[in-house]
Amino acid sequence: MIADMAEAHLTPQANALVLQLLAVEGYRHLDQVSSWPDAIRSQQPDTGPWHYVDIPLYAEQYNEVRDCHFDQHNQRIDSLTCVVDQLPKWTRVLADPAQPLDQREVALKWVVHLMGDIHQPLHAEDDHDRGGNDVRLDWYGAHSNLHAVWDLGVIEHHFGWHLGPGYSFDHDAVRQQALRLDGEIASEQRVIWAPSGELIQINDRTIAWVNYSHHLACAAYRHLPPVFMTGWEDQYQNWAWPVIQDQLKSASVRLARLLNEVAARQPATAGVKSE
C-alpha cells in the first residue's frame, strides 16, 4: 500500500527514473518489488537484521551503539546492521548515478521496503521476545503472534485480505484501497510528515522515524489485555487500525518525497526516459 500511495505522487522525473530502474527486471510498478527483500531472506539470511532495530522496549529512544550491531544470529558484531543504517545506505546507492543500473534497481527495492519496515512499530523494539514474535496469541481464530498482527493481521482483517505464498497478494485490490487511503491525506499532513530536505538529512530523518515507531510499539504492548478473553481482538483492532493507517500514510508521503528528491538530483545528461 505504501508503494502504491507513493507512486501516485512521483514527479515526472522521479516516475521516469523509477520506470527505468524497474525495467531492469521487466516491472512497471513499485508494488511489484516491494516484498522482494522479504522473499530473499531465506536465501540471504544475513539481510535479516536490515529490516528492524531492536530498541529495548522501555528505552526512551534509539541508541546506535546499543541497538545496531547484531547479526542474523543476534550476535554482536562491529559493523552497523539495523534498518536505521540500511535505509540511508541504500538511499545513497539509489541516488548515485555512477552506480550500475542493476545495483540501483536493487537499492530501489530496499528503499521501498525499508521505508515500510521502519514505520512498522514492532520493527523498532524488542522485549526479549524477538520483536513480538514470541508473544503468542490467537488472532480471530488463527494462531499468530504480536509481530504478525502488526505486520499484516490488523490490515488483513480490516480489508478481508489474505497474503498468498511467497508474499503474493492481489495487486489490483491493494492499489484500489491504497488510493482511497491516499485521498484522505491532507496537504498540510504531507508538509508536516515530509518537509523538503529528506534526502540530504536522511540519517537524521531515519532516526526520527524509528523513534516514533518505537513510541508506538510501547503503546502496542500497553494495549494488550492482561488476559486474552473472547472479544479482545475487536478492541485491539479498533485501536490499532487508526495507528497503522497513519503509519502507512506517513510512510508513503516520505517515500514519495525521497524518490522525488533523488530524481531531482540526477544530472540532466543522464538521459532517463520513461520508455
In a domain, 264, yes or no: yes
Does 77 or 160 have the greater pLDDT score? 77
In a domain, 32, yes or no: yes
Q: Note the pLDDT of residue 166.
A: 59
Flag whether pLDDT at 139 surpasses 90.
yes
In a domain, 166, yes or no: yes
Query: What is the pTM (predicted TM-score) of this model?
Result: 0.94
Q: Which domain holds residue 241?
A: 2-270
Q: Is 94 exposed, middle or buried (0-12, 13-18, 19+ CB in 10 A)?
A: buried
pLDDT tens digit sequence for 153-206? 999 999 988 766 656 667 788 899 999 999 999 999 999 999 999 999 999 999
Flag whether pLDDT at 275 surpasses 70.
no
CATH classification of the domain holding 92: 1.10.575.10
Flag whether pLDDT at 63 surpasses 60.
yes
Q: How many domains does the chain have?
A: 1
pLDDT tens digit sequence for 205-254? 999 999 999 999 999 999 999 988 888 999 999 999 999 999 999 999 99
Flag whether pLDDT at 272 surpasses 70.
no
In a domain, 91, yes or no: yes
In a domain, 275, yes or no: no
In a domain, 34, yes or no: yes
Flag whether pLDDT at 273 surpasses 50.
no
